[in-house]
Amino acid sequence: MRALIVGGGAREHAVGVTLARAGAEIIVASPHANPGLERIARASVRVDVDQAQRIADFGEREEIDYAVIGPEAALAAGTSDALRAAEIPVVGPSQAAARIESSKLYCRELLQRHAIGGQPVWRAPERIEQVEATLAEFSGPLVIKPSGLTAGKGVWVQGPDFTDARPGAAYAKSLLAQGQRVLIEEKLEGEEFSQMAFVTDSGVYPMPAVQDFKRALEGDKSGNTGGMGSYSQRDHLLPFLSAAQRDRSIEILSQAVAALRSEGLEFRGILYGGFMLTAKGPMLLEFNARFGDPEGVNAMTLYEDGNFDELLYGVACGRVDPTLIRFRSRATVLKYVVPPGYGDRPQPGGVVELDEAAIEADGVHVFYGSVEPAGPAAVRLGTSRGIALIGEASAIHEAGARVEAALAHVHGDFYVRHDIGTLEDLARRREHMRQLFVPGAKSSPLPLSVAAPGAPPSSAAPDEMRA
Ligand code: AMP
Ligand code: GLY
């Protein structure tokens, strides 16, 4: 079939490669020429992803069978609606249903209206004069976030981003003064994970759980970013996440889809729950209405070869054959090559030389993001995430080691988080969860979940947490 991919990041490059492998013809609508997508595209146009009507007109001209929308800005601008008005099936909800991502206030209110659990305590002061009194309602640490889209960067967490209440209040007031709605939430303690699912009229079909690394620097230091890398575990759980906890997060996704539907909003696309696993179980941080970037790349890498085209076309048309939902039992680790200073003050323009054939020969895949070609084996970094390297193996730390080995074929001035997918980092996360379950517990050497091949990979983790 002929598929239009909207967007030009590494996530969209991975969608293109996975679809092309299934025999699809690739058409691209993206603001910049992604070198990876350009290689496989039959046709491609430069257009901002919020130009809904232009994208729909291009899709019609190219006689596409369906469209897959990558970035949230395209969904928020109504690109799905413009395509559907031209009778083109779309993987991506309508602008109205995508408010579950584009308005955090809408999302919290929807879940509250339908009494869906797993939410932190939250408030949304409407006026600047209400900010102080609202803050005073919280006894513990807070999180302050604008209601609208912020590419993961507008959220202020008490502790890492601000200490006492005063700068927090000033931030909340400044958002209100700019005409934005603002949410003040109880700060949740735990480990974050992403649970994505294909959603159609016929059901909610989960993908493997993934952990994203949001903070810019190693050791989870510095500000939030779009995501510096991610990993997934062979059994589709995570070192700190049990099957029951994952099932609970999928239940919250299903309840949200049912809530939208009961308010007359159909959802055909990808629903992504960003959860905090707390001592009380999974709590919802946010929904996204699309594949995560990078988490979608982990899921697509694990997708069984062959049927992605049929699967996505089915999602777009509202009905999928459940036997098409098949993910391999392998661990994956993804690391993003980014410009120095990415997060706060990215320094674009650096040239990165890479030997793609040698990287692929090491079993690591390359997906391009914000880069432009700079010669036969080189790209120039932009201001955002440049090159995703993803490796797989039977254990997470082995997949991470593969990516580290592949980095020997990448040269230039860039930053990458070497700690993603290391045994030390995995142990730190499990210990973090253990401390929440047993306050004051002394740290002790833990059996690592990244078990030897043949052993059940995560059996130790949930038992450890319940201890
Ligand atoms: P969001 O865009 O709402 O997912 O927030 C971005 C990031 O801010 C999340 O991935 C978390 O790291 C952090 N965050 C958001 N809300 C909370 C919360 N209520 N408690 C703790 N951290 C949060
Ligand atoms: N990695 C987080 C996101 O896709 O929003």
Q: Quick one: pLDDT at residue 347?
A: 95
- C-alpha 108/C-alpha 248 separation (Å) is 18
Average pLDDT per 10 consecutive residues for the chain, totaling 467 residues:
98 98 97 97 98 98 98 98 98 98 97 98 97 94 93 84 87 94 97 98 96 94 90 97 98 98 97 97 97 98 92 97 96 98 93 97 96 94 97 98 98 97 96 84 42 35 31
Q: How far is the CA of 363 from the centre of ligand 2 (A)?
A: 25
Evaluate: CB of 143 within 6 angstroms of ligand 1: yes
In this structure, the residue with its CA closest to atom 5 of ligand 2 is 292
User: What three-state secondary structure class fits 336?
Assistant: strand
Evaluate: CB of 307 within 6 angstroms of ligand 1: no
Contact 212, 202 (CB under 8 A): no
Q: What are phi and psi of 63, to 5 degrees?
A: 50, 50
Evaluate: CB of 120 within 6 angstroms of ligand 1: yes
Evaluate: CB of 295 within 6 angstroms of ligand 2: yes
Domains (range + CATH), the chain = 2-99 (3.40.50.20), 121-186 (3.30.1490.20)
Q: Which bound ligand lies closest to the C-alpha atom of 226? A: 2
Q: Which bound ligand lies closest to the C-alpha atom of 287? A: 1
- C-alpha 346/C-alpha 413 separation (Å) is 12
Residue with tokens 């480990």: 191
Evaluate: CB of 215 within 6 angstroms of ligand 2: no
* DSSP letters spanning 154-172: S-EEBTTTB-SHHHHHHHH
Q: What are phi and psi of 205, to 5 degrees?
A: -115, 105
Best probe residue, ligand 1, of 144, 145, 171 (max atoms within 8 Å of C-beta): 145
Q: Quick one: pLDDT at residue 228?
A: 97
